[in-house]
Amino acid sequence: MFNNKISANKNHRQQIWPLFAATILTLMLATGSWAQDKFPSQTIEVVTHAGAGGGTDVTTRMALLRTRRVLKTDMVVVSKRGGGGAVAMNYINSRPRDGYAIMTITPTHLLTIARGKSPLKLDDLVGLARATDDPQLLMVKGDSKFKTIQELLAEAKQKSFKFGGTQVGAIDQITAFTFAKRAGIKNPNYIPYKGGGAIVTALIGGDIDIGVLNLSEAESQISAGEIRPLVVMAKKRMKPLPDVPTTVELGIDAVFSTVRGFVTLKGVPEDRVKMLEAGLIKAMNHKVYQSYLETAGLGPDSIVGSADWNTQIQQLYKDGVAALKDLGMLK
């Protein structure tokens, strides 16, 4: 009888153990001990190189208003300024490649990579979605004696003006020097600032003669008469600035645009890349972001997905390298 009890207990344990093991496995899967966390299940960092109030900062924050809701997770802007985007790229490169860190880039980042000032290579960038295609403008102080770009060009043939833009080697500097070269005026004295907000302040304060800016960076100051845009670096005029001519109209071959978009890094799982892309695209097609684009004089075609954005990144890099060589900034 004793042996029968031992045998019965043994059989009972053999019957209970699979149920116990299954219960433990279920609990571990539910708590994520063995299973991969559902994405996204934590805060996503969105790294920028821009100062507060600049075009990149504003664009990023406007895009995130709805993206948080679409992805159902918090998204925080992490500002890492300096080095033409190098500090921001250093930071994102230090983060795990798990989709919880993305970055807003402009051509400035690509130029910094081209100059070997970043730990990242072009192939490390994985485009998610483009957010803006924002033409560059040359602006002067509201009470400037220059009422038209023709008046400015006439005097700029005699003396060098102080141009203000973002970091050395960035798109603003290339815009200023290329415009000067192709317009037949003296090379500008280029003064770098940390972002659009600082450029606006310097322009209004008289520290610089000309600001290289986007409409979104100076819209309120233009409306207030504190700043006057003189020319748009584009093929066609901007809807909010119907009286401002383009470089193409003037016969100057200088078309430049601040393209802003979101990227992550190579190594992030493909399913997470697709989820981030879909979330950003859906959010930016919402009326909230569309209204922002319209205010900035931009259209819905500013927004493109991963395939088109990656193609443009490659082309921007190629064009940037050519421009840097032309300016003697790259061998």
Three-state secondary structure readout of the chain: CHHHHHHHHHHHHHHHHHHHHHHHHHHHHHHCCCCCCCCCCCCEEEEECCCCCCHHHHHHHHHHHHHHHHHCCCEEEEECCCHHHHHHHHHHHHCCCCCCEEEEECHHHHHHHHCCCCCCCHHHEEEEEEEEEEECEEEEECCCCCCCHHHHHHHHCCCCCEEEECCCCCHHHHHHHHHHHHHCCCCCEEEECCCHHHHHHHHHCCCCCEEEECHHHHHHHHHCCCEEEEEECCCCCCCCCCCCCECCCCCCCCCCEEEEEEEEECCCCHHHHHHHHHHHHHHHCCHHHHHHHHHCCCCHHHCECHHHHHHHHHHHHHHHHHHHHHCCCCC
Q: Does residue 197 share a domain with residue 114?
A: no
The answer to the question of residue 19 being in a domain is no
- What's the pLDDT score for residue 27? 43
When divided into structural domains, the chain yields a total of 2
- Give the residue numbers spanning the domain of 152: 137-232
Q: Does residue 272 share a domain with residue 128?
A: yes
Q: What is the CATH number of the domain that holds 50?
A: 3.40.190.150
Of 178, 213, 232, at which residue does a domain stop? 232
Q: Does residue 299 share a domain with residue 158?
A: no
The answer to the question of residue 309 being in a domain is yes
Per DSSP, what are the bridge partners of residue 125?
265
- What's the pLDDT score for residue 21? 45
Q: Does residue 124 share a domain with residue 166?
A: no
Ramachandran area for residue 206 (φ above 0: left; ψ -120 to 50: alpha; else beta): left
Q: Does residue 144 share a domain with residue 114?
A: no
Q: Does residue 272 share a domain with residue 198?
A: no
Q: Does residue 144 share a domain with residue 172?
A: yes
What is the radius of gyration, based on Cα positions, of the chain? 26
Q: Compute the distance between CA of residue 231 and CA of residue 170 in angstroms, rounded to an integer.
A: 20
- What's the pLDDT score for residue 331? 82
Q: Does residue 56 share a domain with residue 78?
A: yes
Closest CA to 321 of 76, 16, 27, 115: 115
The answer to the question of residue 78 being in a domain is yes
The answer to the question of residue 106 being in a domain is yes
- What's the pLDDT score for residue 11? 52
- What's the pLDDT score for residue 31? 42
Q: What is the CATH number of the domain that holds 217?
A: 3.40.190.10
- What's the pLDDT score for residue 123? 97
The answer to the question of residue 79 being in a domain is yes
Q: Does residue 273 share a domain with residue 129?
A: yes
For the chain, 331 residues long, the average pLDDT of each consecutive 10-residue run is: 48 50 45 61 96 87 97 97 93 98 96 94 98 94 97 94 88 90 90 91 97 90 97 92 96 91 98 98 97 89 96 91 86 82
The answer to the question of residue 117 being in a domain is yes
Q: Does residue 205 share a domain with residue 150?
A: yes
Q: Does residue 141 share a domain with residue 116?
A: no
The answer to the question of residue 17 being in a domain is no
The answer to the question of residue 7 being in a domain is no
Q: Does residue 305 share a domain with residue 264?
A: yes
- What's the pLDDT score for residue 16? 52
